[in-house]
Amino acid sequence: MVIDKFLQARVENLKGEFGKAFGDKDEIRVFNAPGRVNIIGEHTDYNGGYVLPVAINLSLLAAAKKRNDRKVYLESLNFDKRVVASLDKLKYEEEKDWGNYPLSVAWVLEKEGVELCGADIMFEGNIPVASGLSSSAAIEVLAMKCFLELSDQVIEKERIPILCRKAENEFIGVKSGIMDQYIITFGKKNNALFLNCKTLEHELVPFYNIKDIVIVVGNTKVKRSLAKSVYNERAAECNEGLKILKGFIKRENIENLSDIRKEEFEKIKNHLPPIIAKRCEHVIFENERVKQAVDSLTKGDMDRLGRLMIQSHNSLKELYEVSCKELDIMVGAFLESDGVYGARMTGAGFGGCAVALIKREAQEGIIKKASKEYEEKTGTKGEFYITSISDGIRKL
């Protein structure tokens, strides 16, 4: 497999550090999992709706080696703490910090009857942590790949994101959707993934004009945590809204908010408490925006796609209320420049990153201008990444 020089250098460094930490670097297996940017479709995944993410070249690496016992030793070049656990006594422990994510997938695999061996695993990544680029889902999918390969176990590819989501929901305690794990598993270079999060039907949507555009990510440097927080609160609000709406809509097969049509919602939204109505309106209209975005991408209509991204951000800000001052400034800083089709927050919100769809020829000037404006208005120097659309999880 051909990999670029930068990734190769990361791999060689990781192997060297693995040898120092564990005393042996023979028979090491190395895997790569991408981060992700969601073009549009935010907070629709756990509401059974549509999403349109891409895998990006910011990634996590894992070097892994089989052990002959049931012990798991985890290290990361991004964190100081070594995590040690037994496969026979897996449970969430706050002091294990980042290590709970890889341990969560070992836990779910064992619960599913997949017998695992012990492992030494070292991680390294250039996905900014807690930035909305899905480092948590990347480490889940990456760890699952490690455990399965080291244990000579095979499961259907479609089960990987399902089980990773179960691990995050039940072991970590975050009521997340399945989008992140799905794009990290099924991503393909130069393609977006149009995913129905209810049925898990999906199709690749090519960026036919990828040579003319670039996806730029602006990191606000505002960290946010999802676990047992506002993320779960929004999921509960959506469930409350769904319960009320189902009492007024007399048709079958309404299982999620995304099953409700715009025209149905408009007729009965006044029966909802104001806050719940705002949450439901975002989800239902965002779901429609995703379908329009796929049509735009298929036709190469970047202007329309950009407008949909802007509408999405405004809805997340005003209706779902998951943006923040810094995200709004970052999005606004992008939109000040000619050559920007659209921009929006990406990820769960309350910090993290914004994504902008930009004309390739104008990228340097746009980033320079946005960086200056963001720092002037916030006092914080943001980070900007020019990303490329990459493949999903793979063995190197």
CA distance 79 to 77: 6
Amino acid at 294: V
Amino acid residing at 215: I
Percent of the chain with pLDDT over 90: 86
Summarised one tens digit per residue, pLDDT across range 151-210 is 999 999 999 999 999 999 999 988 778 999 999 999 999 999 999 999 999 999 998 778
Look up tokens 């036709």; give the residue. Answer: 299
Confidence of residue 350 (pLDDT cuts 50, 70, 90): confident
Contact indicator for 27, 166 with CB cutoff of 8 Å: no
Q: Are strands 353-359 and 340-346 parallel, antiparallel or unpaired?
A: antiparallel
Most confident segment among 24-28, 127-131, 191-195: 191-195
**Domains contained in the chain, CATH given:** 5-208 (3.30.230.10), 213-387 (3.30.70.890)
The rounded mean pLDDT for the chain is 93
Strands 71-76, 50-66: pairing kind: unpaired
Least Cα distance to 47 among 288, 314, 247 occurs for 288
Distance from C-alpha of 289 to C-alpha of 284, rounded to nearest angstrom: 9
Residue 271 CA neighbour count, 13 Å, CB half: 15
Give the pLDDT band (50/70/90) at residue 230: confident
Each as own residue / partner, the long-range contacts of residues 2-11 (CB below 8 Å, 24 or more positions apart, any chain) are 3/32, 3/396, 7/32, 7/59, 7/396, 10/61, 10/124, 10/126, 11/61, 11/396
In 3D space, the residue among 319, 388, 329 whose CA is nearest the CA of residue 354 turns out to be: 329
Q: Describe the chain by its helix, strand, coil percentages, rounded to 5.
A: 45, 25, 30
What b-and-e string marks burial along 181-193, b requiring 16 or more CB atoms within 10 Å of the CB?
A: bbbbbbbbeebbb
Question: 9 burial class (0-12, 13-18, 19+ CB within 10 angstroms)?
Answer: exposed
- Reference 47, options 243, 233, 197, 206; nearest CA is 197
d(CA 126, CA 149): 24
AA letter at 84 = V
Structure tokens, 361: 């020829």
What pLDDT, on the 0 to 100 scale, is given for residue 231? 77
Question: Cβ neighbours of residue 156 under 8 Å, at least 6 residues apart?
Answer: none
Question: Do the beta carbons of residue 318 and residue 354 sit within 8 Å?
Answer: no
Position 215 confidence tier, pLDDT thresholds 50, 70, 90: very high
In whole angstroms, what is the distance from residue 324 CA to residue 251 CA?
38
Choice among 180, 259, 295, 328 that is catalytic = 180
Confidence at 2, pLDDT banded by 50, 70, 90: low
Does position 228 have pLDDT exceeding 70, yes or no? Answer: no
Residue 323, phi-psi category: left (phi > 0), alpha (psi -120 to 50), beta (remainder): beta
97 catalytic? Reply is no
This model's pTM is above 0.85: yes
Q: Quickly count: other Cβ atoms within 10 Å of residue 361's Cβ.
A: 11
- Please report which residue ranges of 41-129 form alpha helices under DSSP H: 100-111
